[in-house]
């Protein structure tokens, strides 16, 4: 009976964001909000895995309707890193927009990050059907605007390729790549395929290709963003040079070193000014994008459940404090810009979004 009651109660809620600290606390909070009498579980550490376990827990009552989105790592260095975390977040956002996901469990600090507005993501989502008329080159241009990397042969997620009358693309939200075959200017057929073996998996009549980047800019907005980034970088260089009793800037001592530091910002500004898209926009989204938002805007009239709010605020405060400390060190090392201080939302902004229908707080269930 408890399972049935929980299923019915959850089914009546269009959206729920659960800011997770402990599995025990989340289950107790869900029980309180949804008026379910029984909610129990064991305590776990504060980590993304807590939210994942909570989503799995709720998913037992709401199959395929619950999920999680891991927090983003703060990184000022331009080191090459895996994009698996980005693919996971893009998949979660795609499921939210499609209505497939109705309950989202988040670690507290995931609410601090600014995001591309959902209307931009929707505008850059490409839907294709067999029989559609378009030029393969036009499809490639739309994919490039949506964050896809053009390569000779698709080998991984976020890539696209044009080979004669065939367009291959690997959406980050899918398990297989997609091959779109053209006859002149008409889509003649589509199928998914394994990008390693190149073997076909399934024939399709239609496909939805979600964006391949968390931070997106329309082509028309990129030159303005590039000019802004150039201005911010040049201002930072001026301030560093004017400080008294400082050693010579690495930027000035190593003019040929373009791997990192402020020179990398100028290189990215050139890319944007030329109409390209750079990857390192997460810490400057508030300055480069026309508008940013929180994850709650990807949901219609959401209900936000904050589990153990005091601990959530403490965790967010710690995250912001650590970010500002790292930023200060990165500025000294000529690897960051002062304007990146606004990359994170304040705790008040994160916990009181204006788009939410209700914000509910709860504390862990008392132990016996």
Q: What is the pLDDT of residue 232?
A: 95
- Please state whether the predicted TM-score (pTM) of the whole model is above 0.85: no
Q: CA torsion sign, 358 to 361 to 367 to 368?
A: negative
* Best CA proximity match to 146, nearest among 89, 219, 78: 219
Q: What is the pLDDT of residue 208?
A: 95
Residue 104 makes CB contacts below 8 A (sequence gap 6+) with 15, 16, 17, 18, 55, 66, 67, 68, 69, 92, 96, 295, 299
| Percent of the chain predicted with pLDDT > 90 | 45
Confidence check: pLDDT of 27 > 50: no
| Percent of the chain predicted with pLDDT > 70 | 75
Confidence check: pLDDT of 45 > 60: no
Mean of the per-residue pLDDT values for the chain? 79
Query: Which stretch, 94-98, 269-273, 352-356, 363-367, has highest mean pLDDT?
Result: 269-273
Q: Tens of pLDDT along 148-196?
A: 999 999 999 999 999 999 999 999 999 999 999 999 999 999 999 999 8
Q: Tens of pLDDT along 105-153?
A: 888 888 899 999 999 999 999 999 999 999 999 999 999 999 999 999 9
> Which pairing describes strands 159-163 and 166-169: parallel, antiparallel, or unpaired?
antiparallel
pLDDT band, very low/low/confident/very high, at 5 (cuts 50, 70, 90):
very low
Average pLDDT over residues 261-278: 89
Q: Which pair of tokens denotes residue 367? A: 């132990």
Contact (CB, 8 A) for 302 and 17: yes
How many angstroms separate the CA atoms of 368 and 364, rounded? 12
> Which pairing describes strands 303-307 and 16-20: parallel, antiparallel, or unpaired?
parallel
């Amino acid at each position: 009976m408890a399972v049935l009651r929980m299923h019915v109660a959850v089914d009546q809620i269009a959206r729920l964001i659960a800011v997770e600290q402990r599995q025990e606390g989340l289950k107790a909070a869900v029980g309180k909000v949804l008026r379910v009498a029984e909610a129990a579980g064991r305590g776990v550490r504060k980590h993304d895995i807590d939210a994942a376990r909570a989503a799995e827990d709720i998913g037992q009552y709401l199959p395929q309707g619950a999920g999680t989105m891991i927090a983003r790592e703060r990184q000022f260095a331009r080191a090459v890193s895996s994009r698996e975390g980005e693919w996971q977040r893009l998949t979660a956002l795609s499921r939210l927009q499609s209505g497939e996901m109705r309950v989202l469990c988040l670690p507290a600090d995931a609410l601090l990050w600014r995001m591309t507005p959902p209307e931009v993501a929707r505008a850059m989502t490409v839907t294709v059907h067999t029989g559609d008329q378009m030029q393969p080159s036009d499809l490639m241009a739309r994919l490039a605007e949506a964050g896809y990397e053009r390569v000779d042969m698709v080998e991984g997620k976020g890539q696209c390729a044009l080979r004669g009358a065939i367009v291959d693309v690997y959406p980050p939200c899918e398990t297989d790549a997609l091959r779109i075959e053209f006859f002149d200017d008409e889509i003649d057929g589509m199928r998914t395929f394994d990008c390693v073996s190149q073997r076909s998996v399934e024939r399709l009549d239609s496909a939805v290709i979600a964006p391949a980047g968390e931070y997106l800019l329309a082509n028309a907005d990129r030159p303005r963003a590039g000019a802004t980034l150039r201005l911010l970088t040049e201002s930072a260089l001026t301030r560093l040079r004017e400080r008294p009793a400082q050693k010579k800037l690495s930027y000035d001592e190593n003019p040929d070193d373009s791997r990192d530091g402020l020179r990398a910002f100028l290189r990215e500004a050139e890319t944007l000014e030329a109409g390209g898209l750079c990857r390192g926009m997460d810490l400057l989204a508030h300055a480069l994008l026309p508008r940013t938002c929180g994850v709650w805007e990807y949901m219609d009239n959401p209900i936000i459940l904050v589990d153990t709010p005091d601990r959530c605020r403490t965790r967010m405060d710690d995250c912001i404090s650590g970010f500002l400390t790292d930023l200060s060190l990165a500025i000294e090392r000529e690897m960051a810009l002062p304007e990146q201080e606004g990359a994170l939302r304040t705790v008040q902004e994160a916990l009181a979004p204006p788009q939410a229908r209700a914000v509910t707080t709860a504390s862990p269930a008392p132990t016996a």
